[in-house]
Structure 1
């Protein structure tokens, strides 16, 4: 059984991510591994905790980091005695190292912004980069969204793309695991010509087609998980805004990395990026392995 890996740096967002990961582990029984990525100052300019520009790496700083991670893992294990929790300190650029960790993980959980983030920034560059390049599902937990992690339904955005269908499967499994309803959202964004040249009946017919395609995608999952209560919402609206609204009463929002509207070669679509910044609950972004 692979680990749930938590990117941990002692920041408030990382603490929220750890709490979320421990709750998830209580549901699925997976081990939890805290990964602190220590960035030494080198000729290339890496800076680690306790190191200021112009200094050589400070061994004491690394020892302090190891103590921080050890205490966090020990505290988590003490409050969750039924779980396996361990911590480790790794060296290198945080985004790159966490991406490498994701190759051996079942789930990677990140805080929205660590100690290195700019004040006022909802989600840091590391969270966005790792979410784009990870090899497993990534959950981003901002501290302002952590309170909704224990209540509400699971919501998922589906647009018919391959990535969104993977997200749907993950969301159904999470709803079944948590024994909560699933809310499936399908946003259809017509072109400017369609808005102006088609009448209300034509738009209603287009939405009905979107709903029929979504029902077909849902059918096999409902057969596998018949106890999951499913509600469906389809609307002619901008996807990001609709999904952000749908996240208000959810305990988890699930999306694919990139939908139908994504540019070829773009690993993380604009909708996923906006949700990382603005979702009202923890966000799971699902990758194709």
Structure 2
């Protein structure tokens, strides 16, 4: 199904990583979905950490996929008032956030992300994920930047 198919429900993809920036993106996407009658695809990603191409050993009980799912559930709970009445589809996907979100947005009408998530280079003006999505998404992209984002 493509975006030009007028018989389908509009879809807003939102990147969720549990950061204040992604929480703001989720709330913004909820309001936009309500205005346009769209559903939301809340997408979070996970990957085993790599250090310069080296994958360190991890304990057998280390489950980044479960941590990502928990972070998504908690973010949805924090935004529950905003999401009331909006259809939300949850997706936890293995992969790099920029690539996963760009792919998820291929059949979407809009992709919404925060400008900075849980990344070690938090001083960047525009995060690497948001910059990639803004330049590679095949649909319009909304990137929420401070002061739209509440900081703690």
Fold conserved (TM > 0.5)? Answer: yes
SS in 2 for 1:27: helix
More helix by share: 1
CA contact (8 A) 1:6 1:34 kept: yes
Q: Quote the Cα distance in structure 2 between the aligned partners of 1:104 and 1:7.
A: 15
In structure 1, the residue matched to 2:69 is: 66
The one of 108, 113, 123 equivalent to 1:105 is 108
- TM-score normalised to the size of structure 2? 0.79
Q: Quote the Cα distance in structure 2 between the aligned partners of 1:83 and 1:44.
A: 41
What 5-or-longer segments of structure 1 have no aligned partner?
47-52, 148-289
Q: Deviations over 1:233-268 (max 9, x none)?
A: xxxxxxxxxxxxxxxxxxxxxxxxxxxxxxxxxxxx
In structure 1, the residue matched to 2:6 is: none
Shift of 1:23: 1.1
The one of 69, 75, 93 equivalent to 1:90 is 93
The one of 142, 146, 149 equivalent to 2:145 is 142
Q: Deviations over 1:76-101 (max 9, x none)?
A: 34543211123211111211111111
Matched positions, count: 141
In structure 2, the residue matched to 1:29 is: 37
Which one has a bigger Cα radius of gyration?
1
The one of 52, 55, 58 equivalent to 2:57 is 55
What 5-or-longer segments of structure 2 have no aligned partner?
1-8
CA contact (8 A) 1:39 1:94 kept: no
In structure 2, the residue matched to 1:127 is: 130
Q: Quote the Cα distance in structure 2 between the aligned partners of 1:121 and 1:44.
A: 21
Give the alignment's Cα RMSD to 1 decimal.
Answer: 2.5
- 1:1-289 mapped onto 2 (5 Å cutoff): 1-41=9-49, 45=53, 54-56=56-58, 59-77=62-80, 79-146=82-149
Which structure is richer in relative contact order (CA contacts within 8 A, separation 6 or more)?
A: 2
SS in 1 for 2:93: strand
Q: Quote the Cα distance in structure 2 between the aligned partners of 1:75 and 1:113.
A: 18
Shift of 1:121: 1.8
- TM-score normalised to the size of structure 1? 0.44
CA contact (8 A) 2:47 2:95 kept: yes
The verdict on how the C-alpha distance between 1:136 and 1:117 changes in structure 2, with shifts beyond 3 A counting, is: farther
